[in-house]
Amino acid sequence: MQAVPSSRPLHSRGAPAPASHRVPTGSGAEDPALTSLPQSGSLSAPPSALAEFDAFAASLRGRTPALFLDYDGTLADIAPRPELAAMPDEARAVVRRLSALCPVAFVSGRDLDDLTAMVAVDGLVYAGSHGFDLRGPDLRRQVGVDYVPDLDAADRRLRDRLDGVAGALVERKRFAIAIHTRQVAQPEKPSVAEAVRAVADAQPRLRMTGGKELFELRPNLPWDKGRAVLALMEALGLEGSGTMPIYLGDDETDEDAFRALTARGEGGGIGIRVMEEPAATAATWSLRDPAEAAAFLGRLADWLAQG
């Protein structure tokens, strides 16, 4: 085990499994509720927000965008280790340019300080640990502070149980623990899943979730990226009819945000899923990969600058 220091024509909208039961794709222990969703061969991606930008722009209906951006897999390519997932300078320049044209916030599973350092654009709103830790100009909010001791205990147990499992990375964040399985040999992945479940079962105040090649333990609270986006909209005064919230994300944890915007009703927000292969999603638009996401944001900046 290694420790990481603190620091997607028509498409299916089948709902993912409840967050407390999600496990990562490729983990060797996929939840049947996820694997029973339509496979990629039976799906097609939502329309491309870049290839069909004019139609996308029309969907804004003259409203000012408010951008909520995931980081890993959305603007930075997935890397073997979290600290290697760097956002290209070109993408950073586009984000900086957009921040002068519309509200911009990052909502990520990363620890807040880590996220802020990786994006490295001053003046933005940052929500780390899937929205449990929020910070921005004149904004500071933390959700689940009372659960930190539970995370401390789970962290110790995970490190004990995964010691000796080659490639397993345990990353402690203030309000979550991520267990990365990307570098774990396939035969060993089910045992990692079993270990994480055992620790989660012993910590009823925590819940087990998953993403791309990772498990996470988080406070067992009704809080996620979707609720964080809604809270940010309220705190930043972005709930009015003149604003169109737009969320870009690439994995299951981002579906919470897509669903939260969809639940606001017609015109309540736009979800854009970044995905190389079609997947079940509540998003209405798609982009292929982080490079295309950056190109889309550049096009959006040009469009906004033109007034």
Cβ within 8 Å of residue 156, ≥6 positions away? none
HSE-CB for 105 with a 13 A CA cutoff: 32
The pTM for the full model equals 0.85
Catalytic member of 31, 54, 70, 201 = 70
Q: Between vectors from CA 268 to CA 248 and to CA 266, what angle results, nearest 5°?
A: 120
DSSP letter (8 states) at residue 84: G
3-state secondary structure of 40: helix
Average pLDDT, the chain: 88
Q: Quickly count: other Cβ atoms within 10 Å of residue 156's Cβ.
A: 11
Residues 112-167 have pLDDT tens digits of 999 999 999 999 999 999 999 999 999 999 999 999 999 999 999 999 999 989 99
- 43 — pLDDT class (breaks 50, 70, 90): confident
Q: Which two tokens stand for residue 46?
A: 């939502």
Phi, psi of 260 (to 5 degrees): -65, -40
C-alpha distances out from residue 232 to 156, 273, 300, Å: 33, 20, 22
pLDDT tens readout for residues 157-213: 999 999 989 999 999 999 999 999 999 999 999 999 999 999 999 999 999 998 788
Q: Does the annotation mark 70 as catalytic?
A: yes
* Domains within the chain, CATH numbers bracketed: 46-143+223-305 (3.40.50.1000), 145-219 (3.30.70.1020)
Q: Which two tokens stand for residue 119?
A: 């994006």
Q: Helix, strand or coil for residue 162?
A: helix
In this predicted structure, what is the pLDDT of residue 10?
A: 30
